[in-house]
Amino acid sequence: MTNRKPFVGGNWKMNLHGDEAALLAKQLVDSLPSNEKVDIAVFPAFTYLASVGAILKDSAVKLGAQDFYTTENGAYTGEVSLSMLKDVGVSVVLVGHSERRHVLGESNSTCNQKTLAALDAGMEVILCIGEKLEQREAGQTNFVNYGQMALGLAGVTAEQMSKITIAYEPVWAIGTGKTATPQDAQKAHAAIRNFLIFAYGQEVASTVRIQYGGSMKPGNASDLVGQDDIDGGLIGGAALKSSDFTAICEAAVSK
């Protein structure tokens, strides 16, 4: 048993328009467990951050952003800065989600710049890592995870690790309905923690939360978060329905 407080994130991706996003936020405020035993954040699309943030304002649910640009202001057409996100109440950001890495072409070096910029801005960071199917089949899961952590966390101090959560999201499990078995996921999470021990020492590594992501749903959440090194989840599809997301948060509470 550990004393790490589980952390569950709801990544809404490019889903839910204004009314739907507001409705879900209101439902979550009413149904989610308190933050005594679980930290919870939701990540709406940029256009609804302010409206969802207003609904979540007096709740324990943190407002998160799915992406951001590393520079403060200036001629960066289409981008949104960390200080702009702070203005609307964002306190946690995703970095390196597999869709940004593999669909939108983000490199480890971009992920590193984003991680450092977000920490500098006082944000919490969820650094997402995970292997593709062919890498898993070639036995490279730990190799990929270690590389993404070594490069993504370069320059992050032991002290700053208190603001970092790692999300292990095997790419083949995201949005596919295929989930890693709790035992396979635990094995990958334990290896991730070993890397953190190597990089930051036992004391720091034992406090870092490692979320599992990839088709987590009410039916498998308890078994997954029941594993020693699985400290919550990063949820996509099941985060779009308040009853499903609430059930996953409840499962994390009873870890």
**Residues with catalytic function:** 97, 169
Q: Which is nearer to ligand PGA, 81 or 215 (CB)?
A: 215
Q: Can you read off the two tokens belonging to residue 67? A: 């992406």
Q: Is 174 in the site for ligand PGA (CB under 6 A)?
A: yes
Q: Is 236 in the site for ligand PGA (CB under 6 A)?
A: yes
Q: How far apart are the first and last CA of the chain?
A: 9
Q: Is 169 in the site for ligand PGA (CB under 6 A)?
A: yes
Of the ranges 21-29, 47-55, 141-149, 230-238, which one interacts with ligand PGA (CB under 6 A)? Answer: 230-238
Q: Which is nearer to ligand PGA, 101 or 193 (CB)?
A: 101
- Applying CB under 6 A, among 95, 149, 166, 235 the residue interacting with ligand PGA is 235
- The DSSP annotation for 144-165 comes to HHHHHHHHHTTT--TGGGGGEE
Distance (Å, rounded) from C-alpha 34 to C-alpha 85?
25
Q: Can you read off the two tokens belonging to residue 247? A: 């059930």
Taking the complex as a whole, the smallest distance from the CB of residue 155 to ligand PGA amounts, in Å, to: 25
> Which alpha helices (DSSP H) does the chain contain, by range?
18-31, 49-56, 82-87, 98-102, 108-120, 133-137, 141-152, 182-200, 202-205, 218-225, 242-253
Taking the complex as a whole, the smallest distance from the CB of residue 178 to ligand PGA amounts, in Å, to: 9
Residue 228 in contact with residue 2, Cβ under 8 Å? yes
Of the ranges 18-26, 104-112, 184-192, 207-215, which one interacts with ligand PGA (CB under 6 A)? Answer: 207-215
Taking the complex as a whole, the smallest distance from the CB of residue 247 to ligand PGA amounts, in Å, to: 13
- Applying CB under 6 A, among 18, 122, 155, 175 the residue interacting with ligand PGA is 175
Q: Which residue has the tokens 């589980």?
A: 6
Q: Is 234 in the site for ligand PGA (CB under 6 A)?
A: yes
Distance (Å, rounded) from C-alpha 95 to C-alpha 50?
20
Q: Is 219 in the site for ligand PGA (CB under 6 A)?
A: no
Residue 180 in contact with residue 202, Cβ under 8 Å? no
Q: Is 11 in the site for ligand PGA (CB under 6 A)?
A: yes
Q: Is 237 in the site for ligand PGA (CB under 6 A)?
A: yes
* Contact set with ligand PGA (CB under 6 A): 11, 169, 174-175, 213-216, 234-238
